[in-house]
Structure formats: structure tokens, C-alpha cells
């Protein structure tokens, strides 16, 4: 499944996030493919998991941006539909950030949520 710009549930992979994925992948000598998944756990019930992947699976949702690719498995996609994946730098540090419209609450760390 690929990202369809007319799809209301499309996931946005920001240029800043794609650039950071490319930097990390280059350092680790891996393809610039970020797998984002949702797993049970964390303070609020679900947590985001980030890993570099060697290649997408046949049923993965794919959101290309520049030279990077964001991939999401179908189960996680249902919990992330309409989300924006960004990389934010602030005075407190830098981190990937998910703006997930499906999350009804989250914890202070920003890495877990509930639906």
C-alpha cells in the first residue's frame, strides 16, 4: 500500500523527519527506510516503535519523502491513520514526534498514547 495524497487517512512524513532518517541510515550504513509501528505498552496503553528496515513488506503502507521511506504495517496503520511524523529540534533536544489524531490522550514523555 502506498501513500495516496487524496486519501484522508494518509500519513504525512515531513521533510525534517526524512532528512533525519537519511542521516541515521548513512551513519549505520543501512537503507533510509524507517519502520514505524505501534505496540502495546507505555504509560498510556500504546507506544511508538522506530527501527530502520532493510526493505518494506508487501502489505506495508509506504510514504516516500526525498531519499527516505516511511513504512508502517497494516495493524499499526489503523492506529496512525492521518498522523504526521516529524523531527523536532528544541532547547530540550531533538526527537521524532508523532501528531496522531487518533490518540485521545498521551503521557508527558510523548512516546505513548491511548485511543
Burial of 51 (0-12, 13-18, 19+ CB in 10 A): exposed
Q: Enter the DSSP assignment of 58.
A: T
Residue 100: per-residue pLDDT: 87
pLDDT tens per residue, range 24-62: 999 999 999 999 999 886 555 788 899 999 999 999 999
Average pLDDT over residues 52-78: 96
Domain extent, residue 41, equals: 12-106
Q: Bigger pLDDT: 113 or 69? A: 69
Position 1 in a domain: no
3 lies in some domain? no
- Residue 7 burial (CB count, 10 A): 13
- 7 part of a folded domain: no
Determine, yes or no, domain membership for 55.
yes
Cell 528496515, residue located: 53
- The count of domains in the chain is 1
Give the model's pLDDT for residue 101: 85
* Domain CATH for 25: 2.60.300.12
Domain-embedded: residue 33: yes
pTM: 0.82
pLDDT (0 to 100) of residue 77? 94
**pLDDT value for 113:** 46
CB 82 within 8 A of CB 101: yes
Rounded mean pLDDT, 60-75: 96
What is the helix (H) or strand (E) element at residue 89, kind and residue range? Answer: strand 84-90
92: in domain: yes
pLDDT band at 103 (very low <50, low <70, confident <90, very high): confident
Residue 91 within any structural domain of the chain? yes
Q: Has residue 113 been placed in a domain?
A: no
Amino acid at each position: 500500500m502506498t501513500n495516496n495524497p487524496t486519501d484522508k487517512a494518509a500519513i504525512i512524513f515531513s521533510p525534517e523527519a526524512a532528512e533525519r532518517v537519511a542521516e541515521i541510515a548513512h551513519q549505520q550504513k543501512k537503507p533510509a527506510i524507517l519502520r514505524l509501528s505501534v505496540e502495546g505498552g507505555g504509560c498510556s496503553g500504546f507506544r511508538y516503535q522506530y527501527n530502520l528496515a532493510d526493505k518494506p513488506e508487501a502489505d506495508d503502507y509506504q510514504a516516500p519523502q526525498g531519499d527516505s521511506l516511511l513504512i508502517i504495517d497494516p495493524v499499526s496503520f489503523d492506529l496512525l491513520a492521518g498522523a504526521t511524523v516529524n523531527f523536532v529540534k528544541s532547547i530540550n533536544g531533538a526527537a521524532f514526534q508523532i501528531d496522531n489524531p487518533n490518540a485521545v490522550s498521551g503521557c508527558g514523555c510523548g512516546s505513548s498514547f491511548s485511543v
